[in-house]
Amino acid sequence: MGADLWIISIAIFCLGALMGALNFITTTLDMRAKGMTLMRMPLTCWAWFVTAILGLLAFGVLLSAGILLLMDRNLGTSFFVPLGTVNGVLTGHKGGSPLLWQHLFWFFGHPEVYIAILPAMGLCSQLLSVFSRKPIFGYKAMVYAILAIGFLGFMVWGHHMFMSGMSPYSAFAFSIMTMGIGVPSAIKTFNWLGTLWRGKIRFSSPMLFAIGFVSLFVVGGISGPFLAQPVLDIYLHETYFVIAHFHLIMGVASIFGIFAATYYWFPKMFGRMMNEPLAKTHFWLTFIGAYAIFMPMHYYGMAGGLRRYSQGTEVGWINQLWPIQRFISIAAFVTIAAQFIFVFNLFWSMKKGKKAVDNPWEATTLEWTTATPPPHDNFGGLTPVVYNGPYEYSVPGAPRDYVMQTDAPVTARH
Ligand SMILES: [Cu+2]
């Protein structure tokens, strides 16, 4: 029975993988026929592509783990139940491993971090190029860095389990792999800075959020290598240092991606511009607010402040740290309040915003070649033909400072 289930599961997996591969090949060939080769794809699309693969591989594991957990709770199995109790209630089964649950959960949980942030990385790369009026620095390096981050993301789940009694040798391997993710992340960061360098920067609201994303990504990411050291992680585990780290990078940085994308594509979606002064107020309050919330958390965590405790009044030294908590709470309320500016701007601009032209940001990618808002099926039945790469800004000899992907080729940069 067990062996049959294995064979059926593996057969279903192989069939799915085969269908996915066929779909990828036919779609790629279709795109090629219209000039859109993989290396002419905007980095936003590359990031979504890799995110989709991560989603396929990671969520399946979470789903399986969830089904096993439900069976443990309801059907009398014992995948994760070590002794005869579940939540303090005696059950008739035992012999499972809670560590198995941790492994399955984090095999999903770590790639999930990249599922949240890769799309923001892709679209912020795109925005930095558009609003610096420069080609993205190192397009191919950016693509390979996304692929490397996606691949390494599946190798490092054990860094969430240093405290589980893991062998120091395994911990060392997970630690080295985790440090390895720093390499493609640094490549991306330097390329973002290289894109900004000497650009004719336009500080429109999508660009502010894209730059804010880079800032938060660096500041949130830099504490990753600290936490990747088992010896430091054993001290910092369950402290607010961890909260500060992952909220900055996975929470706020990704949310900045969502805001950047909304301000950028709103005109295309609704045919109207969002209000810039409101957008900039929203940016500055959120940007300063995010730092005001999460920077003090690092100190609170290093001083030993623990997560998941509603009060620390019994413990003297936690009492002394209470003003930090109070400051964080006030900063959080102010930052949350600032989000109502965004909500108001969103709905107000749909009705009252100034009318948008087809290509308000003077960008090069395909969505800006079609009408605003786009016709049914996006291109009115005419699939555009692509002649250029996605980041042809300040091209020498071109009539404008940008060459759209559908324009006749001026240079053969890609
Ligand atoms: Cu992780």
pLDDT of 364 above 90:
yes
Q: What are the b/e assignments for 16-40, b being 16+ CB within 10 Å?
A: eeeeeeeeeeeeeeebeeeebeeeb
In the reported structure, the alpha carbon of residue 281 is separated from the centroid of ligand 1 by a whole-number distance in angstroms of 33
Residue 19 belongs to a domain = no
What φ, ψ does residue 355 adopt, rounded to 5°?
-60, 135
Determine the distance separating the centroid of ligand 1 and the alpha carbon of 113, expressed in angstroms: 7
Residue 94, pLDDT > 90, answer no
pLDDT over threshold 80, residue 89: no
Residue 373: asked if its preceding bond is cis (omega within 30°), the reply is yes
Question: Which band of pLDDT confidence, cut at 50, 70 and 90, is reported for residue 96?
Answer: confident
- In the reported structure, the alpha carbon of residue 271 is separated from the centroid of ligand 1 by a whole-number distance in angstroms of 40
Residue 32 is assigned to a structural domain of this protein: no
273 CA to centre of ligand 1 in angstroms: 38
> In angstroms, what is the span from residue 329 Cα to ligand 1's centroid?
26
In whole numbers, what is the pLDDT of the chain averaged over residues?
91
* Token pair recorded at residue 79: 């995948």
Phi/psi for 393 (5° steps) reads: -110, 150
What's the rounded mean pLDDT across residues 53-64? 93
Confidence of residue 17 (pLDDT cuts 50, 70, 90): confident
Q: Are both 159 and 288 inside the same structural domain?
A: no
Whether 3 is covered by a domain: the verdict is no
- In this predicted structure, the answer to whether residue 138 has a pLDDT above a threshold of 80 is yes
Q: Kindly state whether residue 162 falls inside one of the protein's structural domains.
A: yes
77 - beta bridge partners?
none
> Ligand 1 centre from 68 Cα, in Å?
23
Query: 345 alpha carbon to ligand 1 midpoint, in Å?
Result: 35
Residues 395 and 267 in one domain: no
- Residue-range definition of the domain harbouring residue 403: 364-414
Residues 247 and 287 in one domain: yes
Residue 92: which pLDDT band, with cuts at 50, 70 and 90?
Answer: low
Task: Let me know whether 329 and 217 are in one domain.
Answer: yes
Q: What Cα–Cα distance (Å) separates residue 242 from each residue in 22, 62, 115?
A: 41, 22, 19
Indicate if the pLDDT at residue 125 is higher than 80. yes
Structural domain count of the chain: 3
- In this prediction, residues 21-46 reach a mean pLDDT of 91
- How much distance in Å is there from the Cα of 111 to the middle of ligand 1? 7
Centre a 10 Å sphere on the Cβ of residue 397 and count the other Cβ atoms it contains.
Answer: 7
Residue 235 placed within a domain:
yes
Q: How far is the CA of 100 from the centre of ligand 1 (A)?
A: 17
Do residues 338 and 370 share a domain? no
Sole residue written with tokens 């909500």: 343
Per the structure block, which two tokens stand in for 349? 């601009």
Q: According to the model, what pLDDT value does residue 400 have? A: 86
Please indicate, yes or no, whether residues 197 and 225 belong to a single structural domain of this protein. Answer: no
**Cα 224 to averaged position of ligand 1 atoms, centre (Å):** 9
Residues 180, 236: one domain?
Answer: no
Phi then psi for residue 85, to 5 deg, are -130, 145
- What is the chain's length? 414
Helix (H, G, I), strand (E, B) or coil at 202: coil
pLDDT digits (tens, 9 = 90+) for 387-397: 999 999 988 88
Residue 224 lies in a domain: yes
Ligand 1 centre from 244 Cα, in Å?
A: 14
pLDDT score for 88: 72
Residues 147 and 226 in one domain: no
- pLDDT, residue 409, reads 79
User: Are residues 192 and 224 located together in one domain of the fold?
Assistant: no
Residue 156 Cα to ligand 1 middle (Å): 7
Q: Are 373 and 302 within one domain?
A: no
pLDDT (0 to 100) of residue 411? 57
Please tell me the distance from the alpha carbon of residue 278 to that of residue 349, in angstroms, as a whole number.
11
For residue 157, how far is its CA from the centre of ligand 1 (angstroms)?
6
In this structure, the answer to whether residues 241 and 132 fall within a common structural domain is no
What confidence category does residue 75 fall into, taking pLDDT thresholds of 50, 70 and 90?
confident
Q: What is the mean pLDDT of residues 235-249?
A: 94
Distance 410 CA to ligand 1 centre (A): 44
Average pLDDT over residues 133-142: 94
Same domain membership, residue 178 and residue 116: yes
| Mean pLDDT of all residues in 55-79 | 90
Do residues 112 and 57 touch, judged by C-beta distance below 8 A?
Answer: no
1, pLDDT greater than 60: no
Q: How far is the CA of 326 from the centre of ligand 1 (A)?
A: 29
More confident residue, 410 or 244: 244
- Mean pLDDT over 19-30 rounds to 90
Q: What percent of the chain has pLDDT over 70?
A: 96
Q: Read off the pLDDT of each residue in 216-224 and give the average, rounded to a whole number.
A: 94
End of a domain among 313, 333, 356? 356
Q: What is the pLDDT of residues 287-339, one digit of tens each?
A: 999 999 999 999 999 998 888 887 767 777 777 888 898 999 999 999 999 99
The residue from 331, 356, 381 where one domain ends is 356
Q: What is the mean pLDDT of residues 262-283?
A: 96
